[in-house]
Each structure stands twice: as structure tokens, then as C-alpha cells.
Amino acid sequence: MGVKEDFIDYLKVKRRYSQRTVRLYGDAVEDFLRHSFPEKELSDEDILSALKFQPIRGYVSSLMDRGFDPRTVNLHLSALSTFCNFLVKQQKLPSNPVKEIVRPKEKKRLPSFFSPEALKLYFDTPVADGYLSVRGRMIVTLLYDTGLRRAEAASLRLGDIDISRRTISIIGKGNKQRMVPIVDSLVEKIGDYLLLREEFQKEHNKEGDSFFLTDAGGPAYPEFINRTVKAELSKAKGLSGKKTPHTLRHSFATSLLNNGADLNSIKEALGHSSLAATEVYTHNSFEKLKEIYKTAHPRAKTKK
């Protein structure tokens, strides 16, 4: 196999990306190579020769000329950067040239979140018996009640949860450690979940301390958390928007802010390195305030 095929195999096997993500990354790399060599059967040497600063910068310009928005251009660059990082690890490239590219600025988008009413309806829906059903609900509950990232949930170990202190120990981005409090209702659900988890692990003759287990009894991984959340929330009524772990994280932060939590506390809970990253949630709160103003303030009501 060539370097391109090796890269696709790496995304599927090592990174465990979804079929859609593998296809998108593969298409982005192929689009770049077709731009560099429009009518040529490519060798590995051709591919490596194209992965330099000038050809990539020219490719970015061509994407903009073709009418691609900055977000799409950056997605293409992310795919190329992942490809280059793979080749650096394989010692086929000395460094990643994409890191030198100035990326086009994207318009800031407000974080999407689920309404408390829609989430309450979901959590009030009974859960079927068995580990797999309870696991799906547990993943969604944990993400919404703690604001964990999907990678943090996937890497969670049994020893990270201290029931007596009502805390979870998390190693987040940049190996930054933080303690996240857990409410009593979550503690009770964790206890019920762990009993089913133990039985399920024994049935599959598996060992290990991963908090979440796959269908085969192995340790969870980020894409598995992603797929489980999507499948779980797709069954729920009234939940509009993307069914992702990140939307649950946004919902957690927005709920805290709308219920009086200060930004510094939310920053610590989310594991943000700076307050600027947390301040985006004030925009969601302000949008809610505007809606309340429109319906409640006597001077804001439209005269008939």
C-alpha cells in the first residue's frame, strides 16, 4: 500500500474515526493531490513532494477562489495536517508544513445547546433493562451533569470517581487536572450503573477499569462516545440541533450560567485555560434575556 492508503487505514484502525470522518479526510487529501497533480498517476514521491508550504498555501487560495467558506477551508487544512502528522510519525516528512499556514478566520458562532425542558423530557423517559441501555443513558447523564469532553468521558477510570467526596478527577487538555463535583442524583445512578457494568464485564470475560465499556466489553474511546450519544439522543423527542457530546457540554455550561453560576466557577468546571473561552456562554444567556424582555417587558410588547 502507498502512504495515502496507509493513512486511511490509520484513521480507521488506530484513530477509530467514523466512516464519515474517514471519507471526509480522504476526500480532502485527494482534492489537494488532484489540485497539485491534475492528470497524473501519483507515486509516494509525488505526494511527499507536494506537502510543502508553497503548494499548500496555493491550494488554500484555490479553495477560496472556488467559493469555499473559511470553515470548510479549515476542515480541509485539518485533514491535511492530520495526514502530515501521520507522515512525520512515519519519518517520511521532516515536519508538518500545515502548521505554517495562516488559516482564514471563521465567523464566531454561538454554542448550540438543548433546552432544559427538552432534556427533562428525555431524562424522564424510562430506560430499558440491561447494561447497553443503561450505559447509553449514563453517558448522556454524565456529560450533561459534569460538562466533560468526549475524550475525558472515554478515558474515565473507576478510580477517578470518589463517591464519598462526590467528585470526579479529570485529566483534561494539556494534562491539566481538575476536580468536578457530582450531584447526589448522579451518584445514585453511578451506583446502579456499576452493578450492571460488573455483570456485563464478567459475561464477556473481560478485565480493566475503564468506566465505560464497548459492546464487546473493551474500553471506550472518543468516537464510541460520540456515536453512543448520537444514537441515544436521536430517540428523544424535542431535542433539536446536533446530538453530540459537545452540545451536552454547552448545555451544561449554559444551564449553570442561567441559574446564577459565576463565569470563574464555570471556567473551572469546564477546564478552560482562559476566561475568554468561557465568556462565549454569556451570549447565549443574553439571547435568553432578550426573549424574556420581548415577552415580559410592557414597553417591549407590540401594540396592535
Q: Which domain range does residue 192 map to?
A: 116-293
Query: Is residue 249 flagged as an active site residue?
Result: yes
The tally of domains found in the chain comes to 2
Sheet with 167-171, side-by-side order of all strands: 161-162, 167-171, 177-181
Query: Is residue 272 flagged as an active site residue?
Result: yes
Same domain, 187 and 276: yes
Residue 82 banded pLDDT, cuts 50, 70, 90: very high
**178: in domain:** yes
**Rounded to whole angstroms, how far apart are CA atoms 249 and 148?**
6
Q: What is the pLDDT of residues 247-273, one digit of tens each?
A: 999 888 888 887 888 878 888 888 887
Same domain, 50 and 194: no
Look up the CATH number of the domain holding residue 220.
1.10.443.10
**Rounded to whole angstroms, how far apart are CA atoms 241 and 233?**
10
**Rounded to whole angstroms, how far apart are CA atoms 52 and 29?**
14
Minimum mean pLDDT range among 4-13, 61-70, 172-181, 245-254 = 172-181
**136: in domain:** yes
Place of cell 445514585: 188
Same domain, 41 and 162: no
Look up the CATH number of the domain holding residue 75.
1.10.150.130
Query: Is residue 149 flagged as an active site residue?
Result: yes
Same domain, 87 and 121: no
Query: Is residue 246 flagged as an active site residue?
Result: yes
Of the residues 76, 135, 137, 149, only one is catalytic, namely 149
Is 0.85 topped by the overall pTM? no
Q: What is the pLDDT of residues 113-144, one digit of tens each?
A: 888 888 999 999 999 999 999 999 999 999 99
DSSP 27-82: HHHHHHHHHHSTT-PPPHHHHHHH-SHHHHHHHHHHHHHTT--HHHHHHHHHHHHH
Same domain, 81 and 126: no
The pLDDT of residue 1 is above 90: no
Of the residues 166, 204, 246, 288, only one is catalytic, namely 246
Of the residues 173, 227, 290, 301, only one is catalytic, namely 173
Q: What is the pLDDT of residues 63-79, one digit of tens each?
A: 999 999 998 999 999 99
